[in-house]
C-alpha cells in the first residue's frame, strides 16, 4: 500500500486535501548530486546501470520532497533497443549519425524483444520500488512515436524538425511504417514496465506542437491512442503534448487518466478545451523557477486556484531547466504542499 497516494487519487478523479506535485525531469540535471554522477559516468551508462538509475530517481524524493518519483531514463532507449545507433554529444544532445531518412532504412529497422534489450530498465524499476519502500508512486514513461521519429529522421535536436516533417510529407508510407514499428516497440516496453511495478505511465509528445492539427492526428495522435488503448485498462496513463492545446478535446476522450498542459494554455482554456471532466497536469513555466521563492509560492497558489485542487496535478509545463537553484525547486513543491 503506497503511503502517499495523492497522485493516484488525482488520476482516479478522487477529491484530495491538496493537489499532488512532481516535476518533469525532476530526476536529474539541476541537482548537485546528479552532477557529481554525471562527471563520473556518461549519460547512457547512467540509464543502463540499474543502481545508478535508482539512485538518481530517488534523489528528488529525498531532497525536494515531490509526491511521486519518475524513473531516470530517456525516451531514446526505445530506438536504441531497435538497434539504431544514438550518441549523446556534449553541447548537442542526442545525435543519430545515420538518420533513418529513407524507406530502405526504415525497412531495416527491427521491432526487438524488449525483455532482452531493455531488461536494465525493468531491473531499475524493481530496485527503485524497493528503495522507495511504498512511500510514493513510481512513474514510468516513453516518448510518443512522433517525437522519437523526429530525432531518428532529423538526426539531432531541432527547433523545427523540418527534415522529419519533409520525410512524412514526401514519403508518408515510409513514415507510417516507422511510426508503427516505434509504436509496437513502445507498447511492449510499457507493458513490461507495468509488470516490473510502475504505478503510472506518462507519454511525452514533446514535438507534437510542431504539426498543424490535421497532420498531428495523422502522424502523432493516432499512435498515441494505440498506446493508450493498450495500457488504459492496466494502469493510469498521463498524455502530455507540448503545444498541443488544439487536440485537448480529442485527447480527453481517449481513455487516458490525465492530460499534461504546457504554460502557453491557461487553466481556464485547458478546462474548457478538455471538457472539464478529466484530470489536468501542469503548467508552471519552467523559466519562472528563476523567480524569487516568495514569487514562486505566490504564483503556484494562483495556479492551483485557477485549476482547482481536484482533478489536478501540480507540475511544470515542461522539464525543469538545468541551472534552477534547488531551493527554488523546493519552493515550488513546498508551495503546493502548503496550499489550503
Q: Which residue numbers belong to the known binding site for substrate?
A: 25-29, 44, 74, 151, 206, 318
List Cβ<8 Å contacts ≥24 apart for 331-334. Answer: 331/293, 331/296, 331/297, 332/21, 332/23, 332/284, 332/289, 332/296, 332/300, 333/21, 333/23, 333/64, 333/65, 333/66, 334/65, 334/297
What b/e string do you get for 290-315 counting C-beta neighbours within 10 Å, with b at 16 or more? ebebeebbebbeebbeebebebbbbb
Query: What φ, ψ does residue 314 adopt, rounded to 5°?
Result: -75, 130
Q: Contact 6/138 with Cβ under 8 angstroms? A: no
Which residues belong to the annotated binding site?
25-29, 44, 74, 151, 206, 318
DSSP string over 98-131: S---SHHHHHH-----HHHHTHHHHHHHHHHHHH
Query: Cell 514510468 identifies what position?
Result: 140
What b/e string do you get for 316-334 counting C-beta neighbours within 10 Å, with b at 16 or more? bbbbbeeebeeebbbbbbb
d(CA 143, CA 236): 16
HEC secondary structure over 308-331 = CCCCEEEEECCCCCCCCCHHHHHH
How many angstroms separate the Cα of 120 from the Cα of each of 114, 183, 193? 10, 20, 11
Torsion of CA 6, 318, 300, 201, to 10 degrees: -10
Query: What φ, ψ does residue 139 adopt, rounded to 5°?
Result: -100, 130
d(CA 184, CA 202): 17
d(CA 70, CA 138): 6
Amino acid at each position: 500500500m503506497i503511503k502517499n497516494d495523492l497522485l493516484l487519487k488525482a488520476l482516479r478523479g478522487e477529491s484530495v486535501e491538496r493537489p499532488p506535485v512532481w516535476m518533469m525531469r525532476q530526476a536529474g540535471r539541476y541537482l548537485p548530486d546528479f552532477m557529481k554522477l554525471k562527471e563520473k559516468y556518461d549519460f547512457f551508462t547512467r540509464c543502463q546501470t540499474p543502481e545508478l538509475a535508482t539512485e538518481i530517481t530517488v534523489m528528488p524524493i529525498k531532497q525536494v520532497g515531490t509526491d511521486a518519483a519518475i524513473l531516470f531514463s530517456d525516451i531514446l532507449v526505445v530506438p536504441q533497443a531497435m538497434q539504431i545507433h544514438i550518441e549523446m554529444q556534449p553541447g548537442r544532445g542526442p545525435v543519430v549519425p545515420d538518420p533513418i531518412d529513407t524507406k530502405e532504412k526504415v525497412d531495416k529497422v527491427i521491432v526487438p524483444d524488449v525483455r532482452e534489450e531493455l531488461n536494465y530498465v525493468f531491473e531499475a524499476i524493481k530496485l527503485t520500488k524497493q528503495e522507495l519502500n511504498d512511500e510514493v508512486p513510481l512513474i514510468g514513461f516513453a516518448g510518443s512515436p512522433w517525437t522519437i521519429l523526429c530525432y531518428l529522421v532529423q538526426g539531432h535536436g531541432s527547433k523545427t524538425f523540418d527534415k522529419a516533417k519533409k520525410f512524412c510529407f514526401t514519403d508518408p508510407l515510409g513514415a507510417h511504417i516507422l511510426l508503427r514499428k516505434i509504436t509496437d516497440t513502445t507498447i511492449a516496453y510499457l507493458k513490461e514496465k507495468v509488470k516490473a511495478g510502475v504505478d503510472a505511465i506518462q507519454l511525452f509528445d514533446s514535438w507534437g506542437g510542431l504539426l498543424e492539427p490535421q497532420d498531428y492526428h495523422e502522424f502523432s495522435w493516432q499512435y498515441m491512442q494505440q498506446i493508450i488503448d493498450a495500457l488504459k485498462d492496466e494502469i493510469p496513463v498521463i498524455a502530455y503534448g507540448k503545444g498541443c492545446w488544439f487536440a485537448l478535446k480529442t485527447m480527453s476522450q481517449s481513455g487516458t487518466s490525465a492530460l499534461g498542459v504546457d504554460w502557453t494554455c491557461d487553466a481556464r482554456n485547458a478546462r474548457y478545451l478538455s471538457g472539464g471532466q478529466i484530470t489536468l497536469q501542469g503548467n508552471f513555466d519552467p523559466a519562472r523557477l528563476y523567480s524569487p521563492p516568495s514569487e514562486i509560492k505566490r504564483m503556484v497558489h494562483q495556479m492551483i486556484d485557477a485549476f482547482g485542487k481536484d482533478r489536478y496535478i501540480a507540475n511544470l509545463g515542461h522539464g525543469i531547466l538545468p541551472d534552477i537553484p534547488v531551493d527554488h525547486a523546493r519552493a515550488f513543491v513546498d508551495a503546493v504542499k502548503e496550499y489550503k
